[in-house]
Amino acid sequence: MNILITGGTGFIGTKLCSVLHKQHHRLVVVTRHPEKAKSAAKVNVVSDESSKGSVKFISSLQKIKKEEVFDAVINLAGEPIADKRWSNVRKQEILNSRLDTTSSLIEYFNETEHKPKLFISGSAIGYYGITESNESIDEYGSGDNSFSSELCQQWEALAVEAETLGIRTCLLRTGIVLGKNGGALSKMLPPFKLGLGGKIGSGKQWMSWIHLDDLVGIILHCIVNEEVKGAINGTAPEPETNADFSQSLGKALNRPTVLPMPAFVIKLLMGNMGEELLLAGKKIIPAKALATGYVFKYPKLDAALVDIVS
């Protein structure tokens, strides 16, 4: 297949591109720094762009040739949501980085004569908001007026415009992605390795996690299964509470997990970002992935963590 990817140099995108490259798909990756991305790519960049498995890096959608035909477009672009404290300026940067890229893609779809068959646009389980609940939530769950939820709602509302052009559209609501050399675990591992880890706040908040291999697997599942469309949760089938997650991580590292992080400290250090991303969480279930036949490689947390930290 011929696939266009935005955000292909990030934590998820790098892994996805590597897998697609190994499957001999032809990739065009949009990045702000094509030469830097080319030199850092964990794929073999092929000079002959017409060959199977070639990867081309471009700086903008305007660099796409008019005769180019894509089978699928995958949008993973966006500023990291947890790297900095959320000031009003930072929130706007996070929002703009998602809406601007998605808007540009919709504009490209409108203008190009050869429209893709599939559009997979990134979103997040933040869509479901921060209201406390222990009920399992599938893709039909609703959001609230938290920043995370409104961000995802606006992002998805823009992406779904592709459907009006006859493009099958999947909204990938990603959970807490666990993998090597990046993602949520890269920030959690240092204190846990020192035996300084523990639950955050009450520890009762849900952590709807997913192994990076399975998130990429769900993306591939969306590509090959034409029945999949609309929202799809990118989470593992067995979410864990923060307290149980902390115990499992300590077990995988053979370290104690007896030092909790009080909620007031999180609020003091991280403000609104800490309240929404660390002290709140919902029990999200990948109902659509399971119903359409996706088989998880890592359905249980213990096995996922052992794979990553070993």
| Domains of the chain: residue spans and CATH | 71-309 (3.40.50.720)
User: Is residue 40's pLDDT more than 70?
Assistant: no
Q: What is the mean pLDDT of residues 111-119?
A: 95
Question: For position 241, what pLDDT does the model report?
Answer: 97
Q: What is the mean pLDDT of residues 27-52?
A: 68
Average per-residue pLDDT for the chain: 93
Q: Sorting pLDDT into bands at 50, 70 and 90, what band is 34?
A: confident
Question: For position 310, what pLDDT does the model report?
Answer: 87
Question: For position 49, what pLDDT does the model report?
Answer: 53
Q: How confident is the model over 60-113, as pLDDT tens digits?
A: 999 998 889 999 999 999 998 988 899 999 999 999 999 999 999 999 999 999
Q: What is the mean pLDDT of residues 12-18?
A: 94
Q: Sorting pLDDT into bands at 50, 70 and 90, what band is 47?
A: very low
The pTM score is 0.94
Q: What is the mean pLDDT of residues 9-37?
A: 90
Question: For position 129, what pLDDT does the model report?
Answer: 95
Question: For position 83, what pLDDT does the model report?
Answer: 84
User: Is residue 194's pLDDT more than 50?
Assistant: yes
DSSP labels, the chain: -EEEEESTTSHHHHHHHHHHHHTT-EEEEE-S-HHHHHHH-SS---S-TTSTT-EEEESSGGGS-TT---SEEEE-----SSSS---HHHHHHHHHHHHHHHHHHHHHHHH-SS--SEEEEEEEGGGG-S----SEE-TT----SSHHHHHHHHHHHHHGGGGGGT-EEEEEEE-EEEETTEHHHHHHHHHHHTT----BTTS-SEE-EEEHHHHHHHHHHHHH-TT--EEEEES-SS-EEHHHHHHHHHHHHT------B-HHHHHHHHTHHHHHHTS---EE--HHHHHTT---S--SHHHHHHHHH-
User: Is residue 252's pLDDT more than 80?
Assistant: yes
User: Is residue 38's pLDDT more than 80?
Assistant: no
